[in-house]
Amino acid sequence: MRCSRLRFRLGPRGDRGMVTAELATVLPVLVLLLAVVLSAVSVAGVRVRVQDAAREAARAAARGDDAAARDLAQQSAPGVTVTLTVSGGEVVADARLSVHLLAHWLPAVTVTGRAVAAREPGSAPGTGPGSARSP
């Protein structure tokens, strides 16, 4: 019986402050998890914008307006780099954008998108209004 009294007295005192210690241990992990989730959502949003930029560029280049293709891509995703390739009856637009995660000291993530559009009859690359061939 004496043993059970001793355990009862030491039990509540021995657990004192455990919630604080557990919270201090888990809190950095929760903050890191939140940062990873927010970064993933941010990159997913940028991926949609880059894909839209590639799509807009491919459609404009299919009409033969390369300058408008680059302008539309920049409007869809500022800072995007677009490469236009014509092969046969198709125009391929590759869009690439480098994105920083939540903190600038983390490495950048490169997001790419590709779109293909059929060239419109009678259009040649670089012959549309306001088009200028880039080197």
Domain locations in the chain as residue ranges? 2-118
Point out the residues of the chain with pLDDT beneath 70: 1-15, 123-135
The per-residue DSSP string of 57-109 comes to HHHHHHTT-HHHHHHHHHHHSTT-EEEEEEETTEEEEEEEEEE--SSTTSPPE
Nearest in space to 100 (alpha carbons), one of 114, 79, 129, 121 = 79
The pLDDT of residue 126 is 52
* pLDDT tens, residue by residue, 39-52: 889 999 999 999 99
The per-residue b/e assignment along 81-96, b for 16 or more CB within 10 angstroms, e otherwise, is: bbebebeeeebbbbbb
Number of H helices, E strands in the chain: 3, 3
End-to-end CA distance of the chain: 92
Nearest in space to 102 (alpha carbons), one of 51, 42, 18 = 42
Type of residue found at 103: A
- pTM for this one? 0.71
Nearest in space to 66 (alpha carbons), one of 130, 135, 117 = 130
The pLDDT of residue 90 is 92
Q: Is 120 helix (H, G, I), strand (E, B) or coil?
A: coil
The pLDDT of residue 15 is 67
